[in-house]
């Protein structure tokens, strides 16, 4: 039996807990800032602390898979436990793995993160469409079957992304806009919103030339350490701002390992984002 569709679960979580996604990004410098060693014990302590502090209060937690994978099988075991405990505490988990491939390989990636029996099963997965949007079909199909979602890289905040995403196709539409159109088609008719979202950077400025109304969520990195603020969201996303899932990582995590400070920081970001959306 599949879960209720991700889009519906995400909408409810954002309405109840505030529209905030916090990353779980245990990179070496952050472990050091927390007074932890860059080893499996440090990784485990970091991840457990973030989950304990935030999983019962934020809408979404987003582990960055690479920071766990670098420790091999023991790191993956920590990731599995973090996903399990975060979901048990009520947070939705978006696995930030940015997988992208073709055919049976894409199907295997999808199975790893979107198959309900997998120990890494997550509520949604970030994916790269730059082998062609159609290459994501196995992930799209399995997400629908399991009640999970996808976040497709569309207009990312890194400066290098523009050489691909802003390239103009023969039909006069940019590659990024094409990805948004594909997602709008996936989400057509879904209520309260579809389960197939886009990654759109909060640092990109005025995006009014793009149709962001995909009837699905917009995962927006860049709040906090990258320079964007909650007050910027209406100007960047316009009428689609209510569908935005702002992601904050270092802006919250820098307050660890103190659990109270992590909670206070995430609560403040959630309230500031809620106020910005309400004023739009």
**Contact status, residue 253 vs residue 31, Cβ threshold 8 Å:** no
CATH number for 133: 3.20.20.70
Q: Does residue 33 form part of some domain?
A: yes
3-state secondary structure of 238: helix
Q: Does residue 59 form part of some domain?
A: yes
Which residue matches tokens 């886009």? 198
According to DSSP, residue 222 is labeled -
Query: pLDDT at position 3, please?
Result: 87
Residues written for the chain: 280
Which tokens belong to 258? 């103190």
Q: Is residue 62 among the annotated active site residues? A: no
3-state secondary structure of 202: coil
Q: Does residue 1 form part of some domain?
A: no
* Separation CA 147–CA 38 (nearest Å): 36
Rounded mean pLDDT, 192-197 = 98
Which tokens belong to 225? 């350490």
Q: Residue 126's domain spans which residues?
A: 6-231+247-279
Confidence of residue 227 (pLDDT cuts 50, 70, 90): confident
Q: What percent of the chain clears pLDDT 70, i.e. is strictly above it?
A: 99
Q: What is the domain count for the chain?
A: 1
State yes or no: pLDDT of 1 exceeds 80.
no
Give the pLDDT confidence of 135-174 residue by residue, as tens digits. Answer: 999 999 999 999 999 999 999 999 899 999 999 999 999 9
Mean pLDDT rounded to a whole number for the chain = 96
Query: Which position among 62, 81, 98, 116 bears the catalytic label?
Result: 98
Q: Does residue 236 form part of some domain?
A: no
State yes or no: pLDDT of 226 exceeds 80.
no
Query: pLDDT at position 136, please?
Result: 98
Which one, of 72, 26, 75, lies nearest residue 47 by Cα? 26
Q: Does residue 239 form part of some domain?
A: no
Give the pLDDT confidence of 8-33 residue by residue, as tens digits. Answer: 999 999 999 999 999 999 999 999 99
Q: Does residue 238 form part of some domain?
A: no
Q: Does residue 42 form part of some domain?
A: yes
């Amino acid at each position: 039996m599949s879960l209720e569709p991700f889009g519906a679960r995400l909408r409810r979580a954002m309405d109840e807990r505030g529209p905030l996604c916090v990353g779980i990004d245990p990179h070496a410098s952050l472990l050091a800032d927390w007074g932890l060693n860059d080893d499996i014990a440090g990784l485990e302590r970091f991840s457990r602390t973030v989950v304990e502090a935030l999983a019962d209060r934020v809408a979404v937690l987003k582990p960055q898979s690479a920071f766990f994978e670098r420790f091999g099988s023991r790191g993956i075991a920590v990731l599995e436990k973090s996903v399990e405990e975060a979901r048990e505490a009520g947070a939705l988990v978006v696995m930030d793995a940015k997988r992208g491939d073709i055919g049976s390989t894409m199907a295997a990636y999808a199975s790893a993160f979107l198959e309900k029996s997998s120990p890494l099963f997550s509520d949604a997965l970030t994916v790269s469409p730059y082998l062609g949007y159609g290459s994501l079909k196995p992930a799209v199909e399995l997400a629908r079957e399991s009640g999970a979602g996808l976040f497709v890289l569309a207009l990312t905040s890194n400066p290098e992304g523009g050489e691909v995403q802003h390239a103009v196709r023969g039909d006069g539409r940019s590659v990024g806009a094409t990805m948004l159109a594909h997602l709008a088609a996936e989400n057509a008719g879904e209520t309260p919103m579809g389960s197939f979202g886009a990654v759109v950077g909060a640092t990109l400025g005025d995006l009014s030339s793009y149709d962001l109304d995909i009837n699905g969520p917009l995962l927006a990195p860049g709040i906090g350490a990258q320079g964007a603020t909650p007050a910027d969201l209406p100007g960047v996303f316009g009428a689609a701002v209510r569908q935005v899932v702002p992601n904050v990582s270092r802006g919250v995590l820098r307050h660890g390992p103190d659990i109270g400070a992590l909670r206070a920081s995430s609560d403040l970001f959630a309230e500031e984002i809620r106020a910005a959306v309400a004023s739009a």
